Amino acid sequence: MEQIAVTLTREDHMILESYKTLAEGLSDYLGSSYEIVLHSLEDLDRSVIKILNGYHTGRREGAPITDLALEMLSRIGENGGTPYVSYFTKNKKEEPLKSSTIAIRGKGGRVIGLLCINCYLNTPLADIISSFTPRAAHNTQSIPETFSDTSGDMIENTVLQVRELISADPSIPPSAKNRAIVTALYEKGIFNLKDAVVRTATLLGISKNTVYLHLRNLSVRPAG
């Protein structure tokens, strides 16, 4: 049987460190009914290197890998099995969980860790629903976001939205509105996209040189 425990390289450690941020983001999004666990395969006896909402399984950082995870890793090593599995299980209190375990690959494609998501199924439905409503999200703001099929569409939609907001702001004089629009677009990162300057100029009815002038005043070099 292939060796499951591995010696991690510096690059492997950096990959797993980046997954700690992913685990925190998932936990923030999914809410307290989900346990998020990150395992490192460097030390199977103390494989848990990050855990959020660990009370669902009674674990903390430094806990060992599970038997099911070991079985999954063995299958991957022996015959290239699917690098993820979703299943139903129970915690120590015999409470139901729906779980997913996903292999994390490092340099050379070898498995170096696992990301596990455990949903506590005894969570009242009202609590789950409330965690996805704006009023219940303590650290989440309601922020408009533009979803588009192409970068050109995204530029156009964003420019039009910003233009509408700036145009409706009576505190900005008409002579300064285009500059304010370009500044707002810069703050949104739009000028990192190709041809954003040309598209912005066309939509605002000004020359691209005028857009460049406003950007130069912000000490910005836009994308080509």
CATH (domain of 14): 3.30.450.20
Same domain flag for 21 and 127: yes
> Helix 177-187 to helix 151-167 angle, to the nearest 10 degrees?
130
Same domain flag for 130 and 160: no
Confidence category of residue 4, pLDDT binned at 50, 70, 90: confident
Place of tokens 């000028």: 191
The pLDDT value recorded for residue 129 is: 76
In a domain, 158, yes or no: yes
In a domain, 182, yes or no: yes
The pLDDT value recorded for residue 168 is: 94
3-state per-residue secondary structure call for 83-112: CEEEEEEECCCCCEEEEEEEEEECHHHCEE
The domain boundary residue, chosen from 136, 166, 190: 136
Place of tokens 């303590």: 138
* pTM: predicted TM-score of the whole model, two decimal places: 0.74
Q: What is the mean pLDDT of residues 45-55?
A: 95
- Which value, to the nearest 10 degrees, does the dihedral of the CA atoms of residues 92, 94, 30, 70 take? 60
Same domain flag for 97 and 155: no
Q: What stretches of the chain show up as alpha helix (H) in DSSP? A: 10-30, 67-79, 125-130, 151-167, 177-187, 196-204, 208-217
Same domain flag for 195 and 101: no
Same domain flag for 127 and 160: no
d(CA 84, CA 73): 10
Specify whether the CB–CB gap between 51 and 20 falls below 8 A.
no
In a domain, 142, yes or no: no
Same domain flag for 83 and 180: no
- The two beta strands, 34-40 and 84-90, are unpaired
In a domain, 223, yes or no: no
Specify whether the CB–CB gap between 48 and 39 falls below 8 A.
yes
* pLDDT, tens digit, 9 for 90 and up, residues 182-197: 999 999 999 999 999 9
The pLDDT value recorded for residue 118 is: 96
d(CA 206, CA 42): 59
d(CA 37, CA 22): 11
Same domain flag for 82 and 190: no
Q: Which domain holds residue 179?
A: 151-217
Same domain flag for 19 and 122: yes
* pLDDT, tens digit, 9 for 90 and up, residues 172-183: 999 999 999 999
The one-letter amino acid code at 197 reads V
Counted domains in the chain? 2
Residues forming a β-bridge with 48 = 39
